[in-house]
Amino acid sequence: MADTDSDDDLKAADAKDLHRTVREEGEEELRRPAMSLFWSGLAAGIAISVSLLAEAALHAGLPDAPWRELVVGLGYPVGFLVVILGRMQLFTESTITAMLPLVTRPSTWALMKTLRLWGIVLGANLIGTAIAALALATGVLGDATLRDAALAVSAHVTELSAGRTLVNAVPAGFMIAILAWALPNARSQSVLVISIFTYVLTVAGFSHSIVGSDQAFLLMFTGRTGVWQTLMEIVAPAVLGNLIGGAGIFALLAHAQVRGEMPEGDER
């Protein structure tokens, strides 16, 4: 019985330590200058396009077989590895890091800073993915074979309605929030953890708003989709779904599990 109690105390302490670490990281992000957030977010938007490039390269080099998509999915984590290990600002990671300070110490300041962070980072991420997609669509980046393979990989984002995309994006937001929560406790295995989480995300077919925007913009710049379909039926529902899954579900659950054990000073 004593051993069980000790184990429970250790688990609670670990959860509180993770909460404090992620919350403090979020507080630092909320205080960053707007231009620092923008340039970091822009770099992340461009860099995350490596996921699509890696998938396209694998798609182009593999035969049309039932297992091809499972192997192609191995390219998906590459962009996340570049962005996360490079400490760039990714919107879906900030759904939990920015949300924890807000739910821990609710205030108008925290709310406005959180909305400011999300707005700047999301906008910068989308500009970055649009730049990368335009470069690929016009042949500045890669060749025709790579572009055609990237288009084939991207085609799935048009298969769902806006409503289904929103629902499909909720688990993606939840999973990326779990990833951001778990990373401080898995520093030596960060490459493996990032790779596993993001590989499962893509082979399960969930909608990630930033990688999905890269695919959607490529389709738009090559005339496969229109502006309205791209922004309002693909990108916007994915953004909302990621927010619901990350900030609306996981962040609140992560906070709820330790709220009753937090020192009073941490909740003010």
pLDDT at 243: 94
Which of the four pLDDT bands, split at 50, 70 and 90, describes residue 262? low
135 vs 248: which has the higher pLDDT: 135
Question: What pLDDT sits at residue 5?
Answer: 45
Q: Are 124 and 89 in contact (CB under 8 A)?
A: yes
**85-94, 103-112, 168-177, 217-226: which has the minimum mean pLDDT?**
103-112
Residue 105, sorted as left (phi over 0), alpha (psi -120 to 50) or beta, turns out to be beta
Task: Return the structure tokens found at 187.
Answer: 């520093």
- Determine whether 194 is exposed, middle or buried from the number of CB atoms within 10 Å of its CB (0-12, 13-18, 19+): buried
Top-confidence residue, 73 or 4:
73
Extract the runs of DSSP E, i.e. beta strands, from 100-214: none
Distance between CA atoms of 149 and 89, rounded to whole angstroms?
A: 28
Q: How far is CA 201 from the centre of its chain?
A: 10
Higher per-residue pLDDT: 204 or 8: 204
Residue bearing the bigger pLDDT, 234 or 110: 234
Of 191-195, 235-239, 254-258, the one with minimum mean pLDDT is 254-258
Does the pLDDT at position 2 exceed 70?
no
For residue 211, the model assigns a pLDDT of 96
For the chain, give the percent of residues with pLDDT over 70.
91
Half-sphere exposure of 194 (CA within 13 A, CB side): 22
> What pLDDT is attached to residue 8?
44
CA-atom Rg of the chain in angstroms: 19
- What's the confidence (pLDDT) of residue 193? 93
Residue range 250-261, pLDDT digits in tens:
878 877 777 766
Read off the CATH number of the domain in which 99 is found. 1.20.1080.10
Residue type, 48: I
Q: Could you give the residue ranges of the DSSP H alpha helices within the chain?
A: 2-31, 34-47, 49-61, 68-72, 76-85, 91-97, 99-104, 108-137, 144-154, 162-182, 190-203, 209-221, 227-228, 236-243, 251-259
- Residue 141 makes CB contacts below 8 A (sequence gap 6+) with 53, 132, 135
pTM, rounded to two decimals: 0.88
Mean pLDDT of the chain: 89
pLDDT tens, position by position, 141-179: 989 999 999 999 999 999 999 999 999 999 999 999 889
**Euclidean distance between CA atoms 86 and 122, whole angstroms:** 18
The count of structural domains within the chain is 1
Range(s) of the domain holding residue 97:
2-267
